[in-house]
Structure 1
Amino acid sequence: MSSVSQCHALTKQLKILFEGTDERDSQIESIGALLEKREQLLPTIAPPFSPEEQSMGEEMIYWNKEIDQELERLKFAIKRDMNNVYKTKTTVQKYTNPYESVQTDGMFYDKRN
């Protein structure tokens, strides 16, 4: 099996992985493993390419655009969840200790008396 066809298979697995509805943590682990394998395989790809390999390459380029969009969506979802956790954490802290964030830096003293 040529390195182009191996890379094509790994890219196809990545594309299929995004289409599935797995748990996000296991999906992220699988994505990381597939990306590492593909990263190690990419330097071994060298021309000349057969017409079949060229069509595989064009298909991989198209799939990579879709995979990049899915990775951006996943990144945005993780950021949103982290922000929600941070907001929940600060809200709980304010509820348990409402006087913790009271500032006393700029006190005003009335000198009339």
Structure 2
Amino acid sequence: MEAIKQCYQITADLIHLLKEEVNKEEFIQELDELLNQRQACLALLAAPQNEKEEKLGGVLLQQDQELLKLLHQEKGNVQQELKNLKIKKASNQKYVNPYQSLQIDGVFYDRRK
């Protein structure tokens, strides 16, 4: 019973963390720590012994679905940030050295026999 309550609490903390806006570095550290705790807790879960554990397990499954949705959203946000950063970096590089990416066209090799 204790393991399922602990998993329920850790999952609730994860959902709360994903819904609030915090500093990215702190967010990543806390997210990683909570996910590791949750993984260890899920390994300890066993089959429900009574009706109360079964209900809590059903609530935990619903929380898990919400958590997965929020984690996918956060993953998409991070991927979008990385994409924007690459575009910004390339744009900045073109501004600093505009002739770097020029292709040399019009060079002819004249072969005469």
* Category of TM-score, reference length = shorter chain: 0.7 to 0.9
Q: Structure 1 length as normaliser, TM-score? A: 0.85
Instruction: Provide the C-alpha distance between the structure 2 equivalents of 1:76 and 1:40, rounded to a whole number of angstroms.
Output: 26
Please list every run of 5 or more consecutive structure 1 residues that lacks an aligned counterpart in the other structure. none
Partners of 1:25 and 1:73 lie apart in 2 by 18
Distance in 2 between residues matched to 1:72 and 1:57, nearest whole Å? 22
Q: Is it true that 1:69 corresponds to 2:84 in the alignment?
A: no
The superposition leaves residues 40-99 of structure 1 with CA deviations (integer Å, 9 ceiling, x where unpaired) of 111211124221111111111111111111111111111111111111111111111111
Secondary structure of 1:64's counterpart equals helix
Matches within 5 A, 1:1-113: 2-104=2-104, 107-108=107-108
Q: How many residues align?
A: 111
Unaligned runs of 5+ in 2: none
> Per the alignment, do residues 108 and 10 of structure 1 end up closer, same or farther by CA in structure 2, a change over 3 Å counting?
same
Q: Runs (4+) of structure 1 moved beyond 6 Å?
A: none
Q: Separation in 1 of the partners of 2:16 and 2:49?
A: 25
For 2:73, the aligned partner's letter is R
Query: C-alpha distance in 2, partners of 1:94/1:31?
Result: 36
Q: Which amino acid aligns with 2:34?
A: L
Q: What's the offset of the Cα at 1:38?
A: 1.1
The normalised TM-score by structure 2 is 0.85
1:3-45 superposed Cα distances (whole Å, 9 cap, x missing partner): 1111111111112212222223322221111110111111211
Cα distance in 1 for residues equivalent to 2:49 and 2:105: 71
Relative distance call for 1:30 and 1:102 in structure 2 (3 A) is: same
